[in-house]
Homo-oligomer: A and B are copies of this chain.
């Protein structure tokens, strides 16, 4: 019942072979987890997935062209949403819950617009609406510095860019990286530059607003929990402000002293809030 040990499985659907993991059980609906920029199945923190798996199945998913999934990484969020819908159809999952982190939150929003009945409740962490501001500009100084630092190799760069520059947040980042390293076998290959380039194209497309900025959010009526770290350099918290201002039924939870990876830094709090939100049965997002 852990992402440290759950076997990777494969599903043939939509002419592709999708890599995924599925573990946990309980009374809750299955929770589809949609991953961040260049992230694979191995980037899901067991301190987040495993507590949630105690009350439901957790389904981790490599979108097309990522990890061991076949195909090409789409250059739009809409293309990624198509793959995720085909994956859920192939798995026979209808009306599940979703946890979308960063790029994964955008994919979840697009899926909810493309097929409104697909999700019952949504958790969107560190993400942005279409037409959001300052989405993943890795060339700005706060991100370009760590990304170009030759002393930061592998996961160490995540500590710098996912966490705030305080001692407490950096310590949480080191613990996060340590937890990711607990899985030793059956690993995804890390994403290469072609994955990054296609996903970055999708971010640039997502920044362009629809006809009326944020009007597309009005149709997303699922109870939604929006979560963000207040010092998020990758997708600033203002994007979460815009989400709750325009989504008709969303609660916002903002964490202090944290960046993009607030859910990993405050994993005990986050999983407690997420579980309370997912187990609520009210039409309101309040929990």
List A residues at the B interface (Cβ < 8 Å).
Answer: 168, 230, 237-238, 241, 244-245, 247-257, 266, 269, 284-287
Contacts and interface: CB of A to CB of B under 8 A. Distances in A.
A250 B286 CA distance: 19
Contact of A252 (B248, B249, B253, B284): B253
Given A241-B241, A251-B256, A256-B285, 18 more contacts: A168-B284, A230-B245, A230-B252, A237-B245, A244-B254, A244-B256, A249-B257, A250-B256, A251-B253, A251-B255, A252-B252, A252-B253, A252-B254, A255-B286, A256-B284, A266-B286, A269-B286, A269-B287
A249 B230 CA distance: 10
Point out which of A255, A257, A286 has the most chain B C-beta atoms below 10 A from its C-beta: A286
A256 B248 contact: yes
A237 B245 CA distance: 9
A254 B225 CA distance: 10
A233 to B, nearest CB: 14
Contacts of A249: 256-257
A244 B230 contact: yes
The 8 closest A-B pairs by CB, nearest first: A252-B254, A269-B286, A266-B286, A249-B256, A244-B254, A256-B285, A241-B241, A250-B256
A251 B255 CA distance: 5
A163 to B, nearest CB: 14
14 contacts: A237-B245, A247-B256, A248-B256, A248-B257, A250-B256, A251-B254, A251-B256, A252-B252, A252-B254, A253-B253, A255-B286, A256-B285, A256-B286, A257-B284
A222 B253 CA distance: 18
A167 to B, nearest CB: 12
Contacts of A253: 251-253
A15 B237 CA distance: 47
Contacts of A237: 245
A262 B211 CA distance: 32
Contacts of A287: 269
A241 B254 CA distance: 9
A266 B169 CA distance: 32
A168 to B, nearest CB: 8
A259 to B, nearest CB: 14
A249 B266 CA distance: 13
Contacts of A252: 230, 252-254
A148 B255 CA distance: 40
A248 to B, nearest CB: 7
A152 to B, nearest CB: 26
Contacts of A255: 251, 286
